[in-house]
Amino acid sequence: MSSAGVSIEVRELRCSFGTHTVLDGVDLDVPAGTTLALLGPSGCGKSTVLKLLAGLIKPADGHIAFGGQVVANARSSVPPEHRSLGMVFQDYALWPHMTVAGNVAFPLEMLGIGRTERERRVEAALARVGLDGIGKRRPSALSGGQQQRVALARAIVAEPRVLLFDEPLSNLDSQLRTSLCAEIGKLLVQLGTTAVYVTHDQSEAEMLAHRIVTLSQGRVQKCIDR
C-alpha cells in the first residue's frame, strides 16, 4: 500500500459564520508528501481549516488547490468524495454495529471496489496499523488506542492523496498518545501521503510535522519549517 501525496495550496482563505469571522486571509503551503501541523488554542480556526480542506464547508473567499487543481473557492467546491482524502477524527467515528473489517472496508464500498479486492486491502491496512487478525471484532471490544488505529486504517485503506487529522490523540492517556503519535509519523513517511494534522499539543506537532503553522484569531501568526 502506497499513496502518492499531492501539494496543498491555500490562498487568502476566509470563512465566517454569521457575523463572526473565523478565518481572515489564511495562506498555507504543504509540499507533496509532507506533514503540516496546525497549532493553536480552541477557537483559533484550525478545525475550520480542516473542514474546508475536507470539503465539509465552503470558503467565503480565497481558494484551496490540491496538486495545482482548485478544489474550493467562493463559487464552487469539489465534494469530499471526489477529493481523494482520508480523515481521522478525535472521537474515532466508528460504526458500532459494524465489525472492524466492515468499518475499514466502508470507503472501498463507496468506491465500488469488489469484495475480493476489498478484503485484500482491508487486511493490508489493518496490518499497517498493527491490528492483524481482529477484523471480526466489534469496536466496543477494543481499547481506545485500538479504536484509533482502526480509524487510521479506514483513513488509509483507499490510498488517499491527502490525510486529515482532527486532534486524533486527545482522548488517549499521555503514554499511549506519545507512542501512537510516533507510529502515525512513521506510517506517514512510509505512505508518502500529504497530511494536515490539527492539534493543540506542541510536542505532537514537533514529533510529526515538517512544517508547523500557529493560528491565532483566524490568522497565521507563525510558520516554522523543521
Domain boundary residue, one of 124, 159, 194: 159
Give the percent of the chain with pLDDT over 70.
Answer: 99
Domain boundary residue, one of 137, 159, 181: 159
In a domain, 57, yes or no: yes
Grid coordinates representing 88 are 481521522
Q: Where in the sequence is the domain holding 144, given as residue range(s)?
A: 95-159
Are 4 and 71 in a shared domain?
yes
pLDDT digits (tens, 9 = 90+) for 155-212: 999 999 999 999 999 888 888 999 999 999 999 999 999 999 999 999 999 999 999 9
In a domain, 89, yes or no: no
**What is the rounded CA–CA span in Å between residue 43 and residue 103?**
31
pLDDT value, residue 141: 95
**Mean of per-residue pLDDT scores for the chain:** 94
Collect all residues with Cβ–Cβ distance below 8 Å to 90 and sequence separation of at least 6. 166, 167, 168, 170, 171
Q: What is the CATH number of the domain that holds 44?
A: 3.40.50.300
Domain boundary residue, one of 108, 141, 159: 159
In a domain, 117, yes or no: yes
pTM: 0.93
The DSSP secondary-structure symbol of 40 reads -
pLDDT digits (tens, 9 = 90+) for 23-68: 999 999 999 999 999 999 988 999 999 999 999 999 999 999 999 9
Cα angle for residues 205, 206, 208 (degrees, 5° grid): 65
